[in-house]
Structure 1
Amino acid sequence: MESEEKKTSQKPEVFVKNITFNDGNTFEFNKSDIVVFTGANNAGKSQVLREILQDIESSDKNLKMILTKLESDFVGNVEELLSNMKKDNQGFYLIGHSHRIKENDINYFWRKDTFSTLSRYFINHLNTEQRLVSSNSPSSFDTIKENPQHPIQYLYMDDEKEQELSSYFHQAFGMDLIVDRGAGKIIPLFVGKKPRFEQGEDRVSTSYRKRLTSLPLLQSQGDGMRSFAGILLDTFTSHHTVTLIDEPEAFLHPPQARLLGKMLAKNTQNRRQLFISTHSEDFLKGLLDADNENVKIIRINREENINHMNILRNEDIKKLWKDPILRYSNILSGLFHSKVVICEGDTDCRFYQAVMNSLYDEDGAISPDILFTHCGGKKRLKTVIAALKSLNVKIVTVADIDVLNNKDDFKGITDSLSIEWTALESKWNVIDNYVKSQRAQLDTDEVKKEISQILEAVSINPFPKDEADKIKKTLKSSTAWSKIKEVGKAFFGGESYTNFNDIDSICRTNGLFIVPVGELECFYKPNANHGTKWVNEVLEKVDLKNEAELESAHKFVKDIIDF
């Protein structure tokens, strides 16, 4: 029996209400959702889109591998549906660019809630081939007797829509999109600077059209332009209520991919669902830049024949995205890798990745699919861990040994990794008490004296960076942790040493790797520099694969890889 909404609605529409996947998860979707599927290669991103289309258009539900159930929500009545469609001269109703269907079939499929060919009226699957085809010039049509079937035909009938899409295209490529309304049998779309109207000219004037047709056709441009325009055309002009977009970033440079993501998230109409598969951090960042509350990110993690689905909801997205350090990092690239190693700083990432690559520096050896990324300091580690864990990204966190210095920071990190604090607290207290019992490298009077000497020796402006670094180093020397960072776990003795090893073992089991030598630079002490200067010189001058001094670094990185 048809629902009341289905009978009375003035506009026929179809939406995806919910999907159950082969891991048992069921996700509900709203009518204006933008759902983004991410994951490593071969996770099943594109397959999900194909199966959504297959489920809605086919009564055979046994061909799917990832979806186990899809519930659609469709409203309106068949009379309204027929009134919105046009017949060809053989009595078939036209759907999309090239599909036709009989009236009896429309009635049958609508009653059965199974759409078959009728699904093409509501659902548009934009794979790479379809997007390129959309830029081709369609045939002309009778604007009084016929409905537009091709996106360029919609532009032909709607000046405002043409200007809107042209402005989007101009942002990406610095050129306009212009419809030629006087070409006769076809409707070409040109790219370039739109000609101005001279006195007495209109859009079909021969003199104006000569200037217009001297511009290049969209369909003769490269795949990047055509794909970008094809997505805009199909998404913003059609009546489809569900659009499936497979790898929208294909053929695009990173800035254009990001811009496209932002445009889709900011300008897609209400009561339009987008389901997108992507392998582009830039496209994903564009979607998030738009601050659209309807964006949902689903990461697919494939294990044998099961596709595990994990969703990052809008409130989690906002928490991650409001931090400028994280917003402009490559953290989101982690959604497309098998494992992510989260470090404190960029120099850590560069060194550990270089060491990993050196371990696989043999003919035919391929480095693991691991992303090394940083979050700008210990205090942000817990935020990144929580975000990536919610999407079931396999993570390893690397922190200098002074991660143990601050109880709240350390507990925040271990909590985010789901490590029971009760298993660590007594052991941490032993270490904390031991450190406090040790004499600092410098006492208060010595600190004052050293800083005063540095200040008295400076008489120029601005204050030299080297001298500022000396002051920082002096302040660090006022605690025992400065010495611990120099010598690593060897600083501890007796009970504190045993408790450090216990903490280290628990943390490693849960993906937190504490640098055993103290900090990054202690992996190679022949170079006495620090930070960027240290890592630059080590990467340029040291044989990372064969240098004996790097044995501890090799072991540490191997342990990270094997986790």
Structure 2
Amino acid sequence: MIKKISLKFGSAPGEQAVSFDCTPVTVFVGPNNSGKSKALSEILHFCSEGTKVENNIILSDLIFDEPSEQAAKQNLEHVKLMPRRGESLQLGNTIVGKKSVRYHMPEHDLLAWLLAPNTNSHAFCFYYLSYNTIILNGQNRINLIEDQPAGDLQQPAHSSFQVLFRDDNKRSEVRRIVHEAFGLYLTIDPTNLGQLRLRLSKRAPSTAMEERGIHDEAVSYHSASLPIHSGSDGIKAFTGMITEIIAGDPKILLIDEPEAFLHPSLAYKLGKEIAQATLGSDKRIFVSTHSPNFVMGCIQSGTPVNIVRLTYRNEVSTARILPNHEILRLMRNPLLRSTGVLEGLFYEYVIVTESDTDRAFYQEINERLLNFKPEWGIPNCLFINAQNKQTVKTILKPLRSLGIPAAGVVDIDILKEGGTVWTSFLESGFLPSLSYRPYSDIRAAVKQSLDLSGSCMKRHGGLTLLNESAREAGNNLFDELARYGLFVVRHGELESWLQELQVSHHGPTWLIEVFNKIGEDPDKPNYLKPGDDDVWRFIFQIKEWFFRKDRKGIPF
């Protein structure tokens, strides 16, 4: 149906605009206000009107597949309407549309437009694709479970409930999915004559007639079931979307934040079932989501999926197609999965720390900057932790491979890590490989100078232990790492921050005491507000790297 999509911008300013072949499922991810929902609305407009809009923000163009003559004729049959009683129809004409919208058109013209949709994009979209495109957003996904007219069984089905009532296979498929999700059996109840309504039963109907009939046994069966209106918003939204996808059978389906009202496990299942519903068909599904669980479900369905990450900051938009194998790597690695690293898809920036104690401290510092010194704080930033400094790189590299600005924060004893550990740390920051040897030599020399000082580099001052020449060499090394988003605590370790508080412990005990001393109520005199140096400036330096237009370390 849709063959190719072109956007208006690329992975960075000056880079070629993104254009990609359309897979059955395309998922737009990214931070808030990055344009995900706007992308859906612009695709919807194109599928309705078939014309380019110059003031579009996201979408540049859509290219459609050109079907065979047989496929075009089948598509035409999909939108044909039967004449109403007393409605005249000229020879060679047919009626197309949906529900109350009806157009009398020459069948020859309609077929020509279907055969050449790109040449006749306006007519193709206006008279065909617009009736096969649906957007689900906000409240309308819940309204999908409202009672629907039963219709005339001697006429083609015109609604998802009518299709569900008549098609045993589709009804069985929807029932399977809903039962796996909620442990209840979805049934379609015709006993309110002239209306079809959905119910949830503790048991499946014993026969088709027990479900589809209006005799005593059918009435008794349905009266013992729960009206779906009595279910939670999650049940209603999930069931409505599944019903519309399978029974409504749209060619183009756009869903904005499908995870709304859903538990994470249900978001995962919805993603998987939605994606699998496109297999073997020419359907195209476009989704805007904030749910890593939904994304995981789509990818693990086995269906070809495009993941498109959008960002917008300082009037600059970016778009990047994320490789599925990289996302699968994030999901399959136990360490990465346990840290919730896939959440990074939905933030502008990510900071990776050595431990949970580091993460909690730096996150609190950033929150105070955002509240009291916002020009220094990092907005829309996710803080996640590795297990130690050796595993910081394990999280950084795949995030950056996806184009996500991720900064690493480590203590000064990273200098102890030589060989492949040091090299892999540089690799995670995407430093040029030719620089590995000279930086390794400098690392070894600075470490040796620190060892000769006879003091612990972490606890007794870090680079301040060195003479002027060695200290300059250490600072130059760390300055270069910082250009690539690798930040080292130069005066030691986490516990060397805010020394004026005189906290003597280490690790989690240090964190508890620090949090006690910095206060929790901004109106109290003991509440610590941001200063101009110490850890406050450290976070600001990370922000400067995030906001640099010539930022190093993120591959295009």
Same fold (TM over 0.5): yes
Q: 8 Å contact 2:189–2:211 — kept in the other structure?
A: no
For 1:402-438, what per-residue CA distance to the aligned partner results, in whole angstroms no more than 9, with x for missing partners? Answer: 2232232333232332323544643541341453477
Matched, 1:71 2:75: no
| TM-score, structure 1 normalization | 0.80
Letter in 2 for 1:418: F
Residue correspondences, number: 507
* Alignment match, 2:410: 399
Matched, 1:389 2:383: no
* Alignment match, 1:249: 259
* Alignment match, 1:54: 45
* Alignment match, 1:557: 539
* Alignment match, 1:285: 296
* Alignment match, 1:148: 157
Q: 8 Å contact 1:132–1:226 — kept in the other structure?
A: yes
Match of 2:270 among 250, 260, 265: 260
For 1:210-247, what per-residue CA distance to the aligned partner results, in whole angstroms no more than 9, with x for missing partners? Answer: 34135343245443322211211122234333322111
Q: 8 Å contact 2:24–2:275 — kept in the other structure?
A: no
How has the CA–CA distance of structure 1 residues 539 and 201 changed in structure 2, closer, same or farther, with 3 Å as cutoff? same
Summarize the alignment of residues 344-363 of structure 1 with structure 2, pairs less than 5 Å apart.
Answer: 344-362=354-372
- The secondary structure found in structure 2 opposite 1:18 is strand
Q: 8 Å contact 1:227–1:251 — kept in the other structure?
A: yes
Distance 1:377 1:95 in 2: 61
* Alignment match, 1:234: 244
Summarize the alignment of residues 39-438 of structure 1 with structure 2, pairs less than 5 Å apart.
Answer: 39-63=30-54, 64-77=56-69, 78-84=72-78, 85-89=80-84, 90=87, 93=95, 95=97, 99-104=101-106, 106-107=110-111, 109-110=113-114, 111=116, 112-113=120-121, 114-143=124-153, 145-194=154-203, 197=206, 203-204=212-213, 205-219=215-229, 221-271=231-281, 272-288=283-299, 290=300, 292=302, 294-303=304-313, 306-362=316-372, 368-407=379-418, 408-423=420-435, 425-436=437-448
Distance 2:44 2:3 in 1: 10
* Alignment match, 1:469: none
Distance 2:166 2:241 in 1: 19
Which 5+ residue runs of structure 1 have no aligned equivalent?
1-13, 442-479
Which 5+ residue runs of structure 2 have no aligned equivalent?
11-15, 521-526, 546-556
Distance 1:83 1:348 in 2: 62
* Alignment match, 2:523: none
How has the CA–CA distance of structure 1 residues 296 and 346 changed in structure 2, closer, same or farther, with 3 Å as cutoff? farther
Deviation at 1:398, TM superposition (A): 1.0
Distance 2:274 2:43 in 1: 20
Q: 8 Å contact 1:99–1:117 — kept in the other structure?
A: no
Letter in 2 for 1:534: W
Deviates more, 1:311-320 or 1:110-119: 110-119
- The secondary structure found in structure 2 opposite 1:190 is strand
Q: 8 Å contact 1:190–1:212 — kept in the other structure?
A: yes
- The secondary structure found in structure 2 opposite 1:373 is strand
How has the CA–CA distance of structure 1 residues 99 and 403 changed in structure 2, closer, same or farther, with 3 Å as cutoff? farther
- The secondary structure found in structure 1 opposite 2:459 is helix
Deviation at 1:491, TM superposition (A): 3.6
- The secondary structure found in structure 2 opposite 1:102 is strand
Deviation at 1:494, TM superposition (A): 4.3
Deviation at 1:99, TM superposition (A): 4.5
Cα RMSD (Å):
3.3
How has the CA–CA distance of structure 1 residues 69 and 267 changed in structure 2, closer, same or farther, with 3 Å as cutoff? closer
* Alignment match, 1:519: 493
Letter in 2 for 1:87: M
Q: 8 Å contact 2:309–2:319 — kept in the other structure?
A: yes
- How much identity, in percent, do the aligned residues show? 26
| TM-score, structure 2 normalization | 0.81
Letter in 2 for 1:81: N
Deviation at 1:364, TM superposition (A): 10
Deviation at 1:72, TM superposition (A): 1.1
